[in-house]
A and B are shown apart, each in its own frame.
Chain A
Amino acid sequence: MKRPPTASELNLCLCHSCGLACDMTDDPHECPRCEAPLHRRKTNSLTRTWAYLFAALAFYVPANLLPVMNTMMLGNGADSTIMSGVLEFWEGGAWDIALIIFIASIAVPGIKFVALSLLLITVQRGSDWARRERSKLYRFVELIGYWSMLDVLVVALVAALVKFQALGDIEPRPGILFFGMVVVFTMFSAMSFDPRLIWDNAPDDEPLSDAPPQAAPATDGATPDPTGA
């Protein structure tokens, strides 16, 4: 497939902070426009992403096993975990709320673990399989990342509201700490991954020309021409 020239071929580097295409002939260490540090690729991307991912995975176990919340109603206390909260809504007939919590708290972190591991392994193997789709997968992971904070905020709000001593009291439990750590670490993990690694060492495609082509405007909703140009 023909493609536009890459930044490394033109000796340019993208500034992640202001988006300037920086000229790298003098090997500057920071962006001439916004003074943010410049890196051709994110530093130690693969190692860092793996490390954050494993940390998140370690926290994922207690996050799901430990109770996240304790509900005391008229003297009867009950601990609830993330999953029991989902089931409670499901059995109460509120399947839509159950689905929202399930997606945000259980499915999203799960998808992130699988997707990031897949991206890391394929990049390490130098695979040229489905590059475009893997790019899309990374953007999806970035997009859904922070929605898992949902449960933490629900517990915080509910615990702040129900404070009637003996009559009714809701308190957060340590599970929510581990759960929040999973969210924070998966976010760090996704941020440390450099999606450009997916496209490095692509042997099969050659630059269209040495001059960068004009970006082709497409109207929202319309399918863009995959060949570009």
Chain B
Amino acid sequence: MFPTQHLIICEHCDCVYEKAVLGKHQKTLCARCGGVLQRYNGLTVEQRLALSVTAGMLWLFANFYPVMSISMKGLKNSATLWDSVLALSQGPITFMAMVAAISIIIAPAFQLVLLIWVLSFALSARRAPGFKLCMRWLETLRPWSMLEVCLLGAMVAVFKLAGLLDVLPGIGLFALAVLSLMMIRIAGRDIRDLWDIL
């Protein structure tokens, strides 16, 4: 076994490089296939943890406040994310309710819990109990977390219903908007840096 920590392999074509130190706004690209090898990330552990805790609060707002409410001839109704999952669970399409629940509620929640767990220990330069398992789960969950799609979906729904009745965006929608942007920043691949610094 020789040390390989300084090496980086392009996941798209298997080329091997030595890691470079990046400055602001810099990235390294594979010379053969053009894929991104490394991307500069300016977040410290403290900043990451702070953002994760904030995102956790926003997740609570996005889930417990209605995403939007409608009114029609004096009747009012509002829906949270969980309500929309339940709306799919009726009848033969229950399976889709599970997929929707994972992609807009469960996966982001797990990502945030794992991030906060791993990062709070990283703050004191320690590996959290179950660090390996947590980091592997963060990788597995990433493609199934679809908050930004949900945000676009909510906006399309606003337009879809606006022709039929009065639509009022709720606190949940604003929380969802900020949360989906923050998830892109904090739950991305660069969390792998923790392997090198811990």
Show the binding face of A for B, using Cβ within 8 Å.
Answer: 1, 3-8, 10, 12, 14, 16-23, 25-26, 32-36, 73, 85, 89, 92, 94, 97, 100-101, 104, 131-132, 135-136, 138-139, 145-147, 149-164, 167-168, 171-174, 176-177, 180, 184, 187, 191, 195-196, 198-199, 205, 212-220, 224-229
Contact B14 A216 (CB under 8 A): no
Q: How far is the CA of A207 from the CA of B29 in the complex (A)?
A: 17
Pick from B21, B26, B34, B156: contact of A135, CB under 8 Å = B34
Show the binding face of B for A, using Cβ within 8 Å.
Answer: 1-2, 4-5, 7-9, 11-23, 25-35, 37-38, 67-70, 72-73, 75, 77-79, 83-88, 90-93, 95-97, 99-100, 103-104, 132, 135-136, 139, 143-144, 146, 149-150, 152-154, 156-157, 159-161, 163-165, 189, 192, 195
Of all A-B residue pairs in the complex, the 6 with the closest CB atoms, nearest first, are A228-B31, A153-B153, A215-B28, A160-B79, A160-B87, A156-B84
Contact B16 A5 (CB under 8 A): yes
Contact B29 A17 (CB under 8 A): no
Contact A21 B86 (CB under 8 A): no
Distance between A189 CB and nearest chain B CB, rounded to angstroms: 12
Contact A153 B31 (CB under 8 A): no
Distance between B182 CB and nearest chain A CB, rounded to angstroms: 18
**Consensus secondary structure, chain B interface:** mixed
Q: How far is the CA of A130 from the CA of B8 in the complex (A)?
A: 24
Contact A3 B79 (CB under 8 A): no
Contacts of B78 in A (CB 8 A): 161
Contacts of A146 in B (CB 8 A): 103, 143-144, 146, 149
**Consensus secondary structure, chain A interface:** mixed
Contacts A8-B14, A161-B68, A176-B93; is A20 near B35 (CB within 8 Å)?
Answer: no
Contacts A139-B35, A157-B79, A180-B96; is A218 near B27 (CB within 8 Å)?
Answer: yes
Contact B26 A158 (CB under 8 A): no
Q: How far is the CA of A6 from the CA of B37 in the complex (A)?
A: 14
Distance between B166 CB and nearest chain A CB, rounded to angstroms: 11
Contacts A160-B87, A162-B161; is A214 near B1 (CB within 8 Å)?
Answer: no
Contact A17 B139 (CB under 8 A): yes
Contact B77 A164 (CB under 8 A): yes
Distance between A161 CB and nearest chain B CB, rounded to angstroms: 5
Distance between B8 CB and nearest chain A CB, rounded to angstroms: 6
Contact B7 A21 (CB under 8 A): yes
Contacts of B67 in A (CB 8 A): 157
Contact A164 B149 (CB under 8 A): no
Contacts A167-B72, A219-B25; is A195 near B157 (CB within 8 Å)?
Answer: no
Contacts A157-B79, A164-B75; is A19 near B192 (CB within 8 Å)?
Answer: yes
Contact A3 B32 (CB under 8 A): yes
Q: How far is the CA of A171 from the CA of B88 in the complex (A)?
A: 8
Give 26 pairs: A residue, B residue, CB < 8 Å, sorted on A: A17-B139, A21-B4, A23-B1, A73-B164, A136-B34, A138-B12, A156-B85, A156-B87, A157-B68, A158-B161, A160-B86, A164-B72, A164-B75, A168-B165, A172-B88, A172-B91, A187-B143, A191-B143, A195-B13, A196-B11, A198-B33, A199-B12, A213-B18, A215-B19, A217-B28, A229-B31
Distance between B129 CB and nearest chain A CB, rounded to angstroms: 15
Distance between B3 CB and nearest chain A CB, rounded to angstroms: 9
Distance between A157 CB and nearest chain B CB, rounded to angstroms: 4
Contacts of B84 in A (CB 8 A): 153, 156-157, 159-160
Contact B136 A17 (CB under 8 A): yes
